[in-house]
């Protein structure tokens, strides 16, 4: 990365935050640009990438292969694999960079992040194309992912500038009282593969714009997108050592970074099991550790959409299908449970089956409705869940199998399992794939009880025309992100601060006005003036 230098010429945005618009791929001009970007990126597949530690490029004996889940014979990139021996060099580089970066003005830090937004915006189709190949997103899903990252590049600097102007609510006579939000230190950023641009970049940007430095360990399923993001940071003028790019195994490199006494915070998004393990490791005081490590955890969900008898049925069917099968159901916010009033249950199933069977499955480079799941292990797990659902009395309404006609990759048909009972395994456990469990409810009270009967609490939605029922849902449906008469996926930065309750995580609310507090610590100063 670049050495410390004067901030690049980038505007410090004084205007209000505005979300990055999504691309309309029904317009041939946009579809043509995306196809061109796909072919451009196709020509870059198979390259080798180094670790970046304190600006140094480092090679390792062990490698990580990133493959195309739609075509596993195709190598997206070859990556060095960080091991335990790289933890100390990465930590030392991050600590050294923290000395100067933490003292860099918030205006300079914001300028670099704003410049990163400009770079990403200029190459939006290219970055989306990397997601087509590496994680199997179709054009719209990939575009939304990079748009969200651009939003974070615009939103978090504004929030950092706002925090820099914070004042205590009282000024005592004869004093000048100050309230400052100062950086924490070195953080471990451990993102997932399913939003390899937005979540990876969002946690990293929130860290660095506040003056922290980062050891970034991207998912082994999506290191290429993280590498391209780090390249954009370099181009924007980020100093060496502020972000250290270290793909590696969670069980070795990741755990060692979490346990390191100099690690100040861990920002993680992923499974409940890994998140709880990180929380436990972080809670143990290591020799030489002088702080309580902060954990910022988002750990998935078992999200439900309630459809009441008085709902707009067509809108509900569309919302459920979109939320259940967008990006092959591989979203922590995905609808994996549809809870349907018994008075409309059969009619809903009939319409849902017809709607789901219109979803096209195939190579994301050709922009189908749905692509593959991320890897072979995931595919096998999903198929096992489908089998388990049937053994417990569920009825496969449509789908239920691997689709070899879609290609050589890890393709699972969009699957609807009807007649699932509350408490069944597929009604309780996060599947993370294109599987929707449909449960019949007796009434709205029953539906709310079923929806809340889970250890998770991330997203949910309710379709109803009754104001009283919707008001009850707002009070009683215990999730971090609740949507009324719309799907439960697609949180928008600024409008829908994102994060859940219970085992869905620490309710960290990314993209919201309180998120940066998690990456800072408040320091109060009282100065006697008379």
| Residue tagged active-site, from 118, 141, 298, 430 | 298
Rounded CA gap, 121 and 146, in Å? 9
Read off φ and ψ for residue 445, nearest 5 degrees. -60, -45
Q: How many helices (H) and strands (E) does the chain have?
A: 15, 21
The burial class, CB within 10 Å (0-12 / 13-18 / 19+), for 317 is buried
Query: Using the 8-state DSSP alphabet, how is residue 84 labeled?
Result: G
Is 175 considered catalytic here?
no
User: Beta strand 501-502 with 335-341: parallel, antiparallel or unpaired?
Assistant: unpaired
Where are the strands (E) in 240-302, listed by range?
243-245, 263-269, 294-298
Exposure string over 436-467, b if 16+ CB within 10 A, otherwise e: bbbbbbeebebbbebbeebebbbbbbbbbeee
| Residue tagged active-site, from 332, 427, 430, 488 | 332
SS (H, E, C) 412-461: ECCEEEECCCCCCHHHHCCCCCCEEEEEEECCHHHHHHHHHCCCEECEEE
Instruction: Provide the CB-side half-sphere exposure for 332 (13 A, CA).
Output: 29
- What is the CA 432 to chain-centroid distance, rounded? 13
Six-digit token string for 308: 């009441």
Closest by CA position to 378, among listed 145, 192, 144: 192
What is the number of other CB atoms lying within 10 angstroms of the CB of residue 104? 16
The burial class, CB within 10 Å (0-12 / 13-18 / 19+), for 78 is middle
Rounded CA gap, 56 and 44, in Å? 23
Is 335 considered catalytic here?
no
User: Beta strand 456-457 with 395-398: parallel, antiparallel or unpaired?
Assistant: unpaired
Alpha helices in 198-291 (DSSP H): 198-209, 223-236, 255-259, 272-283
Instruction: Provide the CB-side half-sphere exposure for 361 (13 A, CA).
Output: 24
Active site residues: 298, 332
């Amino acid at each position: 990365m670049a050495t410390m230098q004067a901030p690049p010429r980038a505007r410090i945005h004084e205007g209000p935050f505005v979300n990055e618009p999504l691309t309309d791929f029904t317009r041939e001009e946009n579809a043509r640009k995306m196809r061109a970007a796909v072919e451009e990126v196709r020509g870059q597949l198979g390259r080798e990438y180094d670790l970046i530690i304190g600006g140094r490029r480092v090679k390792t004996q062990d490698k990580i292969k990133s493959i195309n889940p739609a075509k596993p014979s195709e190598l997206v990139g070859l990556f060095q694999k960080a091991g335990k021996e790289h933890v100390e060099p990465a930590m030392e580089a991050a600590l050294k960079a923290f000395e100067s970066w933490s003292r860099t003005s918030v205006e300079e830090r914001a300028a670099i992040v704003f410049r990163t937004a400009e770079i990403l915006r200029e190459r939006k189709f290219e970055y989306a194309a990397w997601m087509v190949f590496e994680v199997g997103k179709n054009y719209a899903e990939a575009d939304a992912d990079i748009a969200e990252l651009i939003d974070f590049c615009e939103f978090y600097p504004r929030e950092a500038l706002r925090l820099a102007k914070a004042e205590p609510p009282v000024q005592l006579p004869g004093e000048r009282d100050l309230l400052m939000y100062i950086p924490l230190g070195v953080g471990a950023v451990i993102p997932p593969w399913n939003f390899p641009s937005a979540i990876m970049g969002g946690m990293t940007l929130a860290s660095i714009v506040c003056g922290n430095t980062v050891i970034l360990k991207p998912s082994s399923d999506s290191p290429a997108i993280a590498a391209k993001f780090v390249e954009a940071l370099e181009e924007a003028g980020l100093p060496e050592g502020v972000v250290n790019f270290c793909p590696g195994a969670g069980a070795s490199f990741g755990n060692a970074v979490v346990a390191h006494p100099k690690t100040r915070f861990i920002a993680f998004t992923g499974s409940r099991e890994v998140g709880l393990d990180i929380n436990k490791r972080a809670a143990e005081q290591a020799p030489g550790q002088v702080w309580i490590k902060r954990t910022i955890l988002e750990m998935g969900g078992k999200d439900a959409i309630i459809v009441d008898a008085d709902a707009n049925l067509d809108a509900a069917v569309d919302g459920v299908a979109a939320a259940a099968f967008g990006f092959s159901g591989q979203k922590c916010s995905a609808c994996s449970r549809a809870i349907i009033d018994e008075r409309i249950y059969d009619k809903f199933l009939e319409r849902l089956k017809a709607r789901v069977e219109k979803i096209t499955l195939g190579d994301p480079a050709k922009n189908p409705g749905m692509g593959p799941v991320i890897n072979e292990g995931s595919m096998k797990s999903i198929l096992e869940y489908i089998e388990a659902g049937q053994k417990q009395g569920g009825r496969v309404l449509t789908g239920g199998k691997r689709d070899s006609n879609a290609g050589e990759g890890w393709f699972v048909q969009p699957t609807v399992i009807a007649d699932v009972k509350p408490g069944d395994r597929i009604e309780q456990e996060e599947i993370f794939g294109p599987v929707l469990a449909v449960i019949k409810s007796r009434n709205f009270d029953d539906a709310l009880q079923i929806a809340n009967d889970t250890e998770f609490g991330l997203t949910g939605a309710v379709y109803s025309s009754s104001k009283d029922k919707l008001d009850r849902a707002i009070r009683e449906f215990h999730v971090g992100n609740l949507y009324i008469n719309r799907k439960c996926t697609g949180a928008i930065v600024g409008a829908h601060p994102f994060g859940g309750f219970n085992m869905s995580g620490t309710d960290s609310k990314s993209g919201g006005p309180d998120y940066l507090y998690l990456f800072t610590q408040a320091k109060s100063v009282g100065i006697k003036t008379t």
